[in-house]
């Protein structure tokens, strides 16, 4: 109600102020010949002053309301007004014209600035748009609420018949029901109408709520920390890959090369020994190939690249030590880097459930709602898990922090343990992919 009243008052009050000023001037001079010459300028000055006041303060009230709703400040930038300059003759230069009196020069400069400033123009447009928006967006819910209340209250003094039943009690019951439905519809539609009105205000006035300096500082610190964590994690991953290659596949390939050299010398002197070495070389090559495949799977699983996160999580469930039940609801596919982070996080949580929680059953739920990917991993283990520094859960938190993701832990002693991971996520390749699988 307050929003509707203030929005309508903006253009109406200046007009009424101008009219009443003109009538007062005419009355003061008893309708004499001087009355029009006094009434017209007075009405114009008062009307424009009231209009300017409502333009600035009406927009300010709207910004304050949007700030309270969003919890963030709305920064407004106006164009600067140049300082007045006085020439040698004593005249004041406004940038367009000269004036002898300083007060007149200031008034002229204010009018020029108000007409030219882009932000003031937006505020003037909002003064005209706001009443229409308030009537269209807020008027309908208000009419439903008040109409429902009035319809219900008037049933006690009005004779109404429904379905041909001549019963005052039935009329009261149906009137109360219809009125309650109307009022409820108005109350349910009101939050949507207010949000839409706030969005329209942001579009017309320009800009919108922005994060405060403290919030921006905290955001920069968080991004700096997550970037450092991502760099450290990438360096550790590269060292792991180098170590696995050096100690595994590379060592086997070097051994195979030495074995092949020995076989080359034994082919003419001892073919039996050569055959035995060939068998060993074949076995070593198979092991080296398997180690390379395991290494590639540890970097980026082929099933994740080819079939996406749902099938990759199902494969984890099929190979997990603990029986795992998977539910996936994704209308599209996340970006590859985010899929990889979620995949390895789920993999580590399944390993923790078997190794530390001694669980007998694990449930994994993957779904996308309101622009966020939500993964919930629950086990029936003994509970008591903690987010310890240097622990696996803290590592998962750092991995998800790179994507502005968060992790929450609920693990009372005795279980169950529920770990929820949420990440902002935009899906691509829209498709229907709601499935259920057990392993």
pLDDT for 295: 62
* Whole-number pLDDT of residue 15: 84
Q: Quick one: pLDDT at residue 431?
A: 46
d(CA 239, CA 113): 63
How many Å apart are CA 250 and CA 286, to the nearest integer?
A: 13
Burial class (CB in 10 A: 0-12, 13-18, 19+), 47: buried
Look at the block and give the residue holding tokens 């905290």.
Answer: 218
DSSP letter for 84, please: P
109, 81 contact by CB (below 8 A)? yes
Can you say how many angstroms the Cα of residue 160 is from the centroid of all Cα atoms in its chain? Answer: 50
CA-to-CA distance for 381 and 359, rounded, in angstroms? Answer: 4
Interhelix angle for 2-28 vs 35-70, to 10°? 170
Give CATH for domain 303-438. Answer: 3.30.565.10
- In this structure, are residues 248 and 290 in contact, taking their beta carbons and an 8 Å threshold? no
Give the model's pLDDT for residue 240: 63
Looking from the CA of 383 toward its CB, the CA atoms found within 13 Å total 11
Q: Which residue has the tokens 């693990």?
A: 411
Quick one: pLDDT at residue 433? 42
C-alpha span between 126 and 39 (Å, rounded): 29
pTM: 0.44
Cβ-contact 417, 391 below 8 angstroms:
no
pLDDT given for residue 390 in this prediction: 67
Distance CA 407, CA 338 (A): 14
Pair 197, 137: CB distance under 8 Å: yes
Q: What is the pLDDT of residue 47?
A: 82
106-139 burial by CB neighbour count: b if 16+ within 10 A, else e?
eebbeeebbeebebbebbbebbebbbebbeebbe
pLDDT at position 215 is 56
The span from the CA of 132 to the CA of 310, in Å, is: 49
pLDDT at 332: 82
Residue 223: predicted pLDDT = 66
What is the separation of C-alpha 118 from the centre of its chain, rounded to a whole number of angstroms?
Answer: 29
Direct distance between the N- and C-terminal alpha carbons of the chain, in angstroms, rounded to an integer: 57
Residues 393 and 419: beta-carbon distance below 8 Å: yes
- How many Cβ atoms are within 10 Å of 87's Cβ, its own excluded? 9
Contacts of 96 (CB under 8 A, 6+ apart): 108, 112
Pair 257, 284: CB distance under 8 Å: no
Per-domain boundaries in the chain: 1-79+117-208, 213-299, 303-438
Tokens 């039935």 belong to residue: 170
Alpha helices (H) along 134-266: 139-153, 168-205, 213-244, 250-266
- The tally of CA atoms less than 13 A away on the side-chain side of residue 268 is 3
CB-CB neighbours of 372 under 10 Å: 13
Classify each residue of 325-357 as buried b or exposed e, where b means 16 or more C-beta atoms within 10 Å of its C-beta. ebbbbbeebbeeebbbbbbbbbbbbbebbbebb
What does the alpha-carbon distance between residue 164 and residue 143 come to, in Å, rounded to a whole number? 28
d(CA 386, CA 61): 47
Q: What is the mean pLDDT of each run of 10 residues along the chain (439 residues)?
A: 69 82 80 76 82 79 78 73 78 80 83 81 83 82 85 72 65 80 87 85 74 60 66 63 66 75 75 77 75 63 78 86 87 82 85 83 86 87 78 79 82 86 76 44
């Amino acid at each position: 109600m307050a929003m509707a009243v203030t929005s309508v008052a903006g253009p109406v009050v200046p007009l009424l102020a101008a009219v009443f000023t003109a009538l007062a001037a005419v009355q003061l001079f008893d309708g004499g010949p001087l009355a029009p010459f006094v009434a017209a300028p007075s009405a114009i000055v008062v009307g424009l002053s009231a209009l300017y006041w409502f333009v600035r303060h009406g927009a300010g009230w709207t910004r304050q309301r949007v700030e309270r709703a969003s919890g963030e400040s709305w920064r407004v930038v106006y164009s600067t007004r140049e300082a007045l300059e006085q020439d040698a003759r004593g005249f004041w230069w406004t940038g367009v014209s000269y004036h002898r009196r300083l007060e007149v020069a200031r008034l002229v400069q204010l009018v020029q600035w108000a007409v030219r400033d882009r932000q003031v123009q937006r505020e003037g447009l909002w003064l005209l748009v706001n009443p229409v928006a308030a009537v269209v967006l807020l008027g309908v819910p208000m009419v439903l609420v008040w109409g429902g209340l009035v319809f219900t209250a008037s049933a006690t003094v009005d004779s109404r018949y429904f379905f041909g039943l001549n019963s005052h009690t039935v009329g009261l019951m149906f009137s109360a029901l219809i009125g309650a439905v109307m009022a409820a519809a108005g109350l349910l539609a009101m939050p949507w109408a207010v949000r839409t009105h706030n969005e329209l205000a942001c579009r017309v006035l320009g800009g919108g709520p922005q994060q405060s300096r403290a919030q921006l500082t905290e955001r920069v610190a968080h991004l700096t920390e997550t970037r450092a964590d991502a760099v450290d994690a990438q360096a550790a991953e590269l060292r792991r890959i180098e170590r696995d290659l050096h100690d595994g596949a590379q060592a086997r390939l070097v051994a195979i090369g030495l074995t092949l050299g020995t076989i080359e010398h034994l082919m003419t002197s001892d073919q039996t020994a050569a055959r035995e070495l060939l068998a060993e070389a074949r076995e070593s090559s198979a092991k080296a190939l398997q180690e390379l495949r395991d290494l590639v799977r540890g970097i980026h699983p082929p099933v994740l690249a080819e079939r996406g996160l749902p099938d990759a999580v199902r494969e984890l469930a099929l190979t997990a030590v603990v029986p795992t039940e998977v539910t996936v609801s994704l209308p599209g596919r996340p970006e590859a880097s985010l899929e990889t982070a979620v995949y390895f996080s789920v993999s580590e949580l399944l390993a923790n459930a078997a190794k530390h929680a001694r669980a007998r059953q694990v449930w994994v739920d993957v779904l996308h709602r309101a622009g966020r990917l939500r993964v919930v991993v629950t086990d029936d283990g003994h509970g008591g898990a903690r987010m310890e520094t240097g622990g696996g859960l803290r590592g998962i938190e750092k991995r998800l922090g790179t994507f502005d993701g968060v992790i929450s832990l609920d693990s009372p002693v005795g279980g169950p343990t529920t770990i929820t991971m949420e990440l902002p996520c935009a899906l691509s390749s829209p498709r229907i992919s709601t499935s259920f699988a057990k392993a």
